[in-house]
């Protein structure tokens, strides 16, 4: 079964495509799954691939590092604004360049250990036999949802029917020193320790499966990664006819987006987090692909004041807690979230078949802006009780299939667009425990809970019987 359909979830429960990567709520679900597996165990033949393998770094540090990002970044002494967001992002990129540029520019030399970046426990192993699940062996990426290429309008539309992304997720040493405490016992995580220290950075870098000649205007000159996964076409074929095999092949893919979050209570006093997107800009003059990643946008709150307006925008028209770079590549605004709140091209904040309580059904390439970075991540809770999208449904159909949602601007809908501190759950009324906006942690808890037969994980699990 393909990632798009089941996102690596066990055969009986499905947590389907949020667009994001193929992490599973109960994933690695084979009982006895190795919490410290680097990958899903599928390796290419030496004839098909002779390069290095990117091994997960799960060797979390015992103590916080002496040097880390300082809240405010040396740029601001208070909450970010439209005027300061670009400076903040530029400073962050300068800070990240020494340790991160190799991930993009010389991926075959990338060594997470040497660079001081860390992976998440419990998410490497796959769902047994499913080559779309877990992390793959070559680049150590998770699989992402398959989205229709017409999500992009001309001339920025790939010539393929579908596109997919694969991404790596890395925690910096400060964040990992906290993971070390949460996961000191991998079978019994200590959620009381789950509070990212101020200055923590988490990076998700995602690459597109479409090829240079299929998306030339966007990918020209992009870096290359290799991954070992079934092709997108094979996954679509398997989705409509499960007898079609899913066979891993070595694919070349192209890094397009850096989604980065920084725990920064100075720059983001209400939520504690600044969420940012850098995208590859083929038109920028810079010597390397890493250099051509440009600041595209930042958000430090959900603009809750306008969450009960149908269009999601303040009466004045301008959001105050999202900044979008007017110089970002022209395709970037097409995939922004609700009311223009931040979301990046591979976050699938725009859905393509939504049913509203009014009876309205939104279909078509233009799509329905349903989410934002902080809205989606704000649902990170244990157990997993609420949808990542503003929906009464507890599961996620693949994009392009019917998805019921609340009415934009309604009180229910607005629950997804508040500013909460990372220790305040969105659904505290039904017992959710807030996970400080970290969705990978939510999936790791699901996987660990399932592996050890934790009844609380089962509580979430029971609500996920949806098939397509």
The angle at the Cα of 5, spanning 162 to 121, to the nearest 5 degrees, equals: 105
Instruction: Please classify residue 287 by burial: count the beta carbons closer than 10 Å to its beta carbon, then call 0-12 exposed, 13-18 middle and 19+ buried.
Output: exposed
Among candidates 276, 289, 271, 288, which has minimal Cα distance to 332? 276
Tokens of 79: 């909450």
Instruction: Please state the closest distance from residue 354 (CB atom) to ligand HEC, in A.
Output: 13
Q: Please identify, using beta-carbon distances, which residue of 16 and 306 lies nearer to ligand HEC.
A: 16
Tokens of 468: 């397509």
Instruction: Please state the closest distance from residue 159 (CB atom) to ligand HEC, in A.
Output: 26
Q: Please identify, using beta-carbon distances, which residue of 18 and 133 lies nearer to ligand HEC.
A: 18
Q: Please identify, using beta-carbon distances, which residue of 17 and 131 lies nearer to ligand HEC.
A: 17
Do 424 and 5 form a contact (C-beta atoms < 8 A)? no
Q: Please identify, using beta-carbon distances, which residue of 179 and 343 lies nearer to ligand HEC.
A: 343
Q: Please identify, using beta-carbon distances, which residue of 44 and 461 lies nearer to ligand HEC.
A: 461
Among candidates 372, 17, 315, 368, which has minimal Cα distance to 162? 17
Among candidates 252, 259, 163, which has minimal Cα distance to 205? 259
Do 340 and 319 form a contact (C-beta atoms < 8 A)? yes
Instruction: Please state the closest distance from residue 66 (CB atom) to ligand HEC, in A.
Output: 23
d(C-alpha 58, C-alpha 398), whole Å: 31
d(C-alpha 45, C-alpha 351), whole Å: 38
Instruction: Please state the closest distance from residue 161 (CB atom) to ligand HEC, in A.
Output: 22
Among candidates 149, 152, 177, which has minimal Cα distance to 164? 149
Q: Which residues bind ligand HEC (CB under 6 A)?
A: 18-21, 23, 169, 202-204, 259-261, 275-277, 342-344, 347-349, 371-373, 376-377, 388, 438-440
Instruction: Please state the closest distance from residue 380 (CB atom) to ligand HEC, in A.
Output: 7
Q: Please identify, using beta-carbon distances, which residue of 44 and 89 lies nearer to ligand HEC.
A: 89
Instruction: Please state the closest distance from residue 68 (CB atom) to ligand HEC, in A.
Output: 16
Q: Please identify, using beta-carbon distances, which residue of 277 and 294 lies nearer to ligand HEC.
A: 277
Do 376 and 382 form a contact (C-beta atoms < 8 A)? no
Instruction: Please state the closest distance from residue 405 (CB atom) to ligand HEC, in A.
Output: 12
Q: Please identify, using beta-carbon distances, which residue of 44 and 381 lies nearer to ligand HEC.
A: 381
Instruction: Please classify residue 1 by burial: count the beta carbons closer than 10 Å to its beta carbon, then call 0-12 exposed, 13-18 middle and 19+ buried.
Output: buried
Q: Please identify, using beta-carbon distances, which residue of 207 and 349 lies nearer to ligand HEC.
A: 349
Q: Please identify, using beta-carbon distances, which residue of 238 and 341 lies nearer to ligand HEC.
A: 341
Which residue is associated with the tokens 């906006």? Answer: 437
Instruction: Please state the closest distance from residue 21 (CB atom) to ligand HEC, in A.
Output: 3
Among candidates 359, 315, 295, 349, which has minimal Cα distance to 92? 295
Which is it for the CA torsion 442, 427, 175, 276, positive or negative?
A: positive
d(C-alpha 246, C-alpha 268), whole Å: 44
Instruction: Please state the closest distance from residue 302 (CB atom) to ligand HEC, in A.
Output: 11
Instruction: Please state the closest distance from residue 45 (CB atom) to ligand HEC, in A.
Output: 29
The angle at the Cα of 135, spanning 194 to 209, to the nearest 5 degrees, equals: 120
């Amino acid at each position: 079964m393909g990632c798009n359909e089941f996102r690596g979830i066990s055969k009986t429960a499905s947590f389907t495509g949020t667009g994001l990567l193929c992490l599973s709520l109960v994933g690695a679900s084979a009982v006895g799954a190795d919490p410290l597996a680097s990958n899903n165990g599928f390796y290419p033949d030496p004839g098909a691939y002779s390069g290095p393998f990117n091994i997960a770094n799960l060797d979390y540090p015992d103590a916080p590092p002496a040097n880390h990002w300082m809240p405010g970044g040396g740029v601001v002494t208070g909450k970010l604004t439209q005027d300061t967001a670009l400076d903040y992002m530029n400073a962050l990129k300068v800070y990240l360049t020494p340790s991160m540029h190799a991930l993009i520019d010389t991926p075959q030399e990338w060594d997470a250990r040497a660079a001081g970046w860390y992976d998440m426990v419990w998410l490497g192993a796959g769902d047994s036999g499913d080559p779309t699940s877990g992390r793959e062996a070559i680049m150590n990426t998770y699989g992402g949802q398959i989205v229709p290429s017409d999500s992009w309008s001309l001339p920025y539309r790939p010539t393929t029917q579908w596109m997919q992304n694969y991404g790596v997720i890395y925690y910096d040493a400060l964040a990992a020193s906290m993971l070390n405490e949460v996961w000191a016992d991998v079978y019994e995580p200590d959620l009381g320790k789950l509070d990212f220290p101020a200055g923590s950075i988490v990076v998700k870098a995602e690459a597109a499966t479409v090829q240079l000649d299929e998306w030339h205007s966007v990918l020209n000159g992009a870096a290359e990664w290799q991954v070992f996964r079934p092709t997108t076409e094979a996954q679509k074929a398997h989705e409509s006819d499960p007898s079609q095999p899913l066979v891993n092949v070595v694919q070349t893919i192209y890094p397009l987006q850096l989604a980065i979050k920084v725990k920064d209570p100075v720059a983001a006093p209400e939520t504690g987090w600044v969420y940012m997107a850098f995208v590859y800009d083929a038109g920028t003059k810079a010597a390397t692909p890493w250099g051509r990643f440009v600041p595209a946008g930042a958000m430090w709150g959900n603009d809750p004041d306008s969450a009960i307006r149908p269009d999601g925008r303040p009466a004045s028209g301008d959001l105050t807690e999202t900044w979008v770079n007017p110089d970002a590549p022209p395709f970037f605004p097409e995939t922004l979230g609700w009311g223009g709140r931040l979301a990046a091209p591979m976050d699938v904040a725009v859905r393509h078949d939504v049913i509203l309580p009014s009876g309205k059904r939104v279909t078509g390439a233009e799509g329905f802006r349903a989410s934002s970075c902080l809205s989606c991540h704000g649902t990170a809770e244990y157990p997993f009780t609420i949808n990542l999208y503003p929906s009464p449904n507890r599961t996620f159909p693949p994009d392009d299939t019917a998805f019921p949602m609340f009415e934009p601007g309604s009180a229910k809908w607005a629950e997804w667009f508040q500013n909460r501190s990372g220790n305040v759950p969105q659904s505290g009324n039904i017992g959710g425990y807030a996970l400080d906006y970290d969705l990978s942690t939510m999936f790791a808890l699901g996987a660990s809970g399932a592996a050890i037969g934790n009844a609380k994980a089962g509580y979430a699990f029971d609500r996920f019987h949806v098939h397509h």
